[in-house]
Amino acid sequence: KMKHLIAPSILSADFANLQRDIEMINESQADWFHVDVMDGVFVPNISFGFPVITAAKKNAKKPFDVHLMIVDPDRYIAEFAKAGADVITVHYEACTHLHRTIQLIKSVGCKAGVALNPHTPVSLLKDVLQDIDLALVMSVNPGFGGQQFIPQTLNKISELKQMALQANPNLYIEVDGGVGINNIGSLIEAGANVFVAGNAVFAAPSPTQMIADLKNVQVN
């Protein structure tokens, strides 16, 4: 069984000290950088774009897990790959031709992910599950760090895990929003194996120690 991965979200980093926070993640037990891109249309917030990602990538020593909270993502897939994305995740709700978008992500050499808002059922992934590398279950309404975890997410993860056992046993099942030391154990038990953590890491007295604590949680 695969050890779970920790993906600190740089949305919660100090952008006035981004290099310092990138080095902290480099030297920690984190597995991926989680990179939240918001366009002010798909979500009611705007985060950052290509110049910031390109600059961050220069000194980052771990894969970039890019979460696109943008409408019509096809327009920018190639450019995100060029900026350094290793995984590109698009929202189910933002893609009219999701299958095509998934193929486009793979054609630029990235792993392909699909994210679901809290109200979107996991059953809607059934006919693309074999085609994707990652499914991201949003456990808050996307747009902001530091929100409270929505408990119904646990059922969604269990259901997705069952679907994946049949269709795609190597699927990464990622949870994003309100993840911390108090709920990561139950999320692992439900079947998730990639954990985004923004506030939990960056508001901790020692972010490095919090990453280690999240990484070293064990369940039977």
Residue for token digits 């110049």?
A: 51
Task: Determine which residue in the list 21, 36, 39, 174 makes contact with Zn ion, applying CB under 5 A.
Answer: 36
DSSP line for the chain: -PPPEEEEBGGGS-GGGHHHHHHHHHHSS---EEEEEEBSSSSS-B---HHHHHHHHHH--S-EEEEEE-SSGGGGHHHHHHHT-SEEEEEGGG-TTHHHHHHHHHHTT-EEEEEE-TTS-GGGGGGGTTT-SEEEEESS-TT-SSPPP-TTHHHHHHHHHHHHHHH-TT-EEEEESS--TTTHHHHHHHT--EEEESHHHHTSS-HHHHHHHHHT----
Comparison of 67 and 161: residue with beta carbon closer to ligand DX5: 67
Taking the complex as a whole, the smallest distance from the CB of residue 138 to ligand DX5 amounts, in Å, to 7
Catalytic residue check, 127: no
Query: Of 21, 31, 36, 133, which residue is the catalytic one?
Result: 36
Q: How far apart are the first and last CA of the chain?
A: 11
Which one of 14-22, 30-38, 73-81, 203-211 is the stretch in contact with Zn ion (CB under 5 A)?
A: 30-38
Nearest to 85 by CA among 45, 155, 133: 133
Residue-level length of the chain: 220
User: Which residue ranges make up the annotated binding site?
Assistant: 9, 34, 36, 67, 143-146, 176-178
Taking the complex as a whole, the smallest distance from the CB of residue 67 to Zn ion amounts, in Å, to 4
Query: Of 21, 39, 133, 176, which residue is the catalytic one?
Result: 176
Considering CB distances under 5 to 8 angstroms, the limit depending on partner class, which of Zn ion, ligand DX5, none binds residue 161?
Answer: none
Q: Is 39 in the site for Zn ion (CB under 5 A)?
A: no
Task: Kindly write out the interface string for residues 152-191 of this chain, putting x where it contacts Zn ion by CB under 5 A and - elsewhere.
Answer: ------------------------x---------------
Comparison of 36 and 133: residue with beta carbon closer to Zn ion: 36
Taking the complex as a whole, the smallest distance from the CB of residue 180 to ligand DX5 amounts, in Å, to 7
User: Which residue ranges make up the annotated binding site for a divalent metal cation?
Assistant: 34, 36, 67, 176
Residues in contact with ligand DX5 by the rule CB under 6 A = 9, 11-12, 34, 36, 67, 140, 142-147, 176-179, 196-200
Tell me which residues touch Zn ion (CB under 5 A): 36, 67, 176
